[in-house]
Amino acid sequence: MKVNLKKMLGLAALGMTLLTNTAPTWAGYKDNREVLREPVGINGVSGFYVTGSMVSARYSTDSNQNIGCTAYALGTYTWTACFATDKAGNSLVCGSSDPRWAEAVQSMTDSSFISFTVTDNDGDCKFVGVKSGSDLLR
């Protein structure tokens, strides 16, 4: 009886661990790109662009990376701001009252891939892009 119980527990534990090892058989393409901040030239002016997926930033192994955008409705104004920090702790921020960027934030989901661009000499968002797709799901 005791031997059977031991065998039972051992096999149950083995079954559990084998399953948790092999269960993720989600074979579709996955984009794991973390937050990346790179210099760029925009119409002859130097600046930075940043790209990254929300999921990769959230589930990264470091505690620096983050990326996202905020939509503001303030009285009769709307405003959009985007923020990002890469794993080295370098940050990028831009803001704009341009309604195109508000539309871009409108299309965001939990698993969006965000990119935005800003020049060195001001804080105006020159570009905000939001991508959603199966390769970004967790």
Partner 1 sequence: MKANLQKLIGTAVLGLAMFSQSLPAWAGQQIRPEVAIGPNYAYGSTVGARYSADTQQYIWCQFSPHNGPFVSCWARDKANKFYACFKFDASWATVVKSITDSSLITFGGDAAGSCDRLIVENHSSHLK
Partner 2 sequence: MTEQKKGLWQTIAMVSIGLILGVGVFSWMTQLPPLPEQQAHTDPQNDQRLVKLEQAVMALTQAVQSNQAKAAQPEPTKVTAPANSDVSRSDLAQVIREEVRQAMAKESPEAQRAKEEAIAEAKILNSPENKAAYQSASSVVQTAVAAKRWTEEDKETFRTAFGQLTNNQRMELMNVLAPAINNGHVKVEVMGPLF
> Contact residues for partner 1 (CB under 8 A)?
3, 6-7, 10-11, 13-14, 17-18, 20-21, 52, 54-55, 57-78, 83, 99, 102-103, 105-106, 108-110, 112
Residue pair 67/56 in contact by the 8 Å Cβ criterion: no
| Residue 24, CA distances (Å) to 54, 67, 88, 110 in order | 21, 27, 30, 21
Measured CA to CA, the distance from residue 59 to residue 38 in angstroms comes to 21
Measured CA to CA, the distance from residue 82 to residue 95 in angstroms comes to 6
| 92 near partner 2, rule: CB under 8 A | yes
* 122 interface partner picked from partner 2, partner 1, none, CB below 5 to 8 A per type: partner 2
The residue (of 17 and 32) whose beta carbon lies closer to partner 2 is 17
* 38 interface partner picked from partner 2, partner 1, none, CB below 5 to 8 A per type: none
Number of residues written out for the chain: 138
Residue pair 124/94 in contact by the 8 Å Cβ criterion: yes
Q: Which residues bind partner 2 (CB under 8 A)?
A: 4, 7-8, 11-20, 23, 47-48, 55, 66, 68, 70, 72, 74-77, 79, 81, 83, 85, 89-97, 99, 103-104, 106-107, 109-112, 118, 120-124, 132-134, 136-138
